[in-house]
Amino acid sequence: MITARYWREMPQRYRYEAGKCVKCGYVAFPPRLICPVCKAREFQTVTLANTGKIETFTVIRVAPSDFEDEVPYAMAVIKLDDGVQVTAQVVDVDLDELKIGDRVRIEFRRISQDGEAGVIFYGYKFVPA
Amino acid sequence: MSGLVPCQACPLPLRIYPSEEIAKIWGADAESFKRGLLLREKSVPAPDQDLITMSVEAARHALKRAGGLDPKELGAIYIGAESHPYAVKPSGTVVAEAIGATPDIHCADYEFACKAGSEAMFVTLGLVQADYVKYALAIGGDTSQGAPGDALEYSTAAGAAAFIMGREHVVAEIEHTHSYTTDTPDFWRRDLQHYPQHGGRFTGEPAYFKHVTSCARALFEKSSTKPGDFKYAVFHQPNGKFPQRVSRMLGFTQKQIDQGWLAPTLGNTYSGSSPMGLSAILDVARPGDRIFMVSYGSGAGSDGFIWKVTERIVEVQNLAPQTRQQLEHKPRYLDYGTYAKFRRKIRKAEKV
Ligand SMILES: [Zn+2]
Q: B84 an active-site residue?
A: no
Give strand pairing partners of A124: A108
**Residue A96 DSSP one-character state:** T
Gap from CA of A43 to ligand 1 centroid (Å)? 8
C-beta neighbour count of A120 within 10 angstroms: 17
Q: Quote the percentage of chain B above a pLDDT of 90.
A: 80
* ipTM of this complex: 0.96
| Same-domain status, A62 and A40 | no
How many independent structural domains does chain A possess?
Answer: 2
Of all residues in chain A, the percent with pLDDT exceeding 90 is 94
pTM: 0.96
Contact B86 A120 (CB under 8 A): yes
Contacts with A108 from chain B: Cβ below 8 Å: 53, 56-57, 60, 98
- C-alpha A17 – ligand 1 centre gap (Å): 17
Q: Give the separation between CA B158 and CA B10, rounded to whole angstroms.
A: 9
Res B106: pLDDT: 98
Set out the domains of chain B in order of their start, with CATH numbers: 3-170+319-342 (3.40.47.10), 172-313 (3.40.47.10)
- A115 and A75, same domain (yes or no): yes
Average pLDDT, integer, range B68-90: 96
Q: Of B273, B304, B320, B290, which is closest to residue B173 (Cα–Cα)?
A: B290
Is a pLDDT exceeding 90 seen at residue B285? yes
pLDDT in tens, A40-87: 999 999 999 999 999 999 999 999 988 988 999 999 999 999 999 999
Task: Say yes or no: A38 and A72 in one domain.
Answer: no
User: Residue B351 pLDDT more than 90?
Assistant: no
Q: Which domain holds residue A25?
A: 1-48
- Do A30 and A91 share a domain, yes or no? no
Same domain, A8 and A44: yes
Predicted pLDDT at A65: 86
User: CA–CA distance from B246 to each of B104, B115, B277 (Å)?
Assistant: 42, 17, 15
The pLDDT of B58-66, averaged and rounded, is 94
C-beta atoms of A109 and B48 within 8 A: yes
B11 or A65: which leads in pLDDT: A65
- What's the burial of A75, exposed, middle or buried (CB within 10 Å: 0-12/13-18/19+)? middle
**Is B119 in contact with B136 (CB distance < 8 Å)?**
no
pLDDT at B242: 96
- Over its C-alpha atoms, chain A yields an Rg (Å, rounded) of 16
pLDDT value for B202: 82
Active-site annotation holder among B21, B57, B82, B153: B82
Query: By the CB < 8 Å criterion, does B53 face chain A?
Result: yes
Q: Does residue B130 have a cis peptide bond before it, meaning omega lies within 30 degrees of 0?
A: no
Arithmetic mean of pLDDT over chain B: 94
The verdict on A70 touching B (C-beta cutoff 8 Å) is yes
Is the CB of B46 inside 8 Å of chain A's CB atoms? Answer: yes
A33 lies in the same domain as A60 = no
Would you call B143 an interface residue with chain A, using a CB distance cutoff of 8 Å? Answer: no
Whether B236 is a known active-site residue: answer yes
A7 inside 8 A of chain B by CB = no
Q: Distance (Å, rounded) from C-alpha B149 to C-alpha B201? A: 17
> What separation in angstroms does the CA of B17 have from each of B41, B107, B334?
4, 37, 8
What are the two backbone dihedrals, phi and then psi, of residue B98, each rounded to the nearest 5 degrees?
Answer: -65, -35
Tell whether A127 and A110 lie within a shared domain.
Answer: yes
Best mutation target among B8, B44, B48, B345 (most A Cβ atoms within 10 Å) is: B48
Q: Are residues A75 and A118 in the same domain?
A: yes
Report the pLDDT value the prediction gives residue A119, as an integer from 0 to 100. 96
Domain shared by A19 and A59, yes or no? no
Tell how far the Cα of A22 is from the centroid of ligand 1, in angstroms. Answer: 7
Q: Which one of the listed residues B61, B84, B169, B236 is annotated catalytic?
A: B236
Average pLDDT, integer, range B218-244: 97
Give the pLDDT mean for B278-305. Answer: 97
**Mean pLDDT score, B242-267:** 97
Of B96-110, B293-307, B326-340, minimum mean pLDDT range: B326-340
Residue B332 at interface with chain A, using a CB cutoff of 8 Å: yes
Decide if B221 is catalytic: no
Residues 6+ apart with CB under 8 A from A85: A55, A77, A78, A79
Does A78 lie in the same domain as A16? no
3-state DSSP assignment of residue A109: strand
Verify that A74 and A112 share a domain, yes or no.
Answer: yes
Q: What is the CATH number of the domain that holds A126?
A: 2.40.50.840
Per-residue pLDDT band for B19 (boundaries 50, 70, 90) equals confident
Do A54 and A39 sit in the same domain of this protein? no
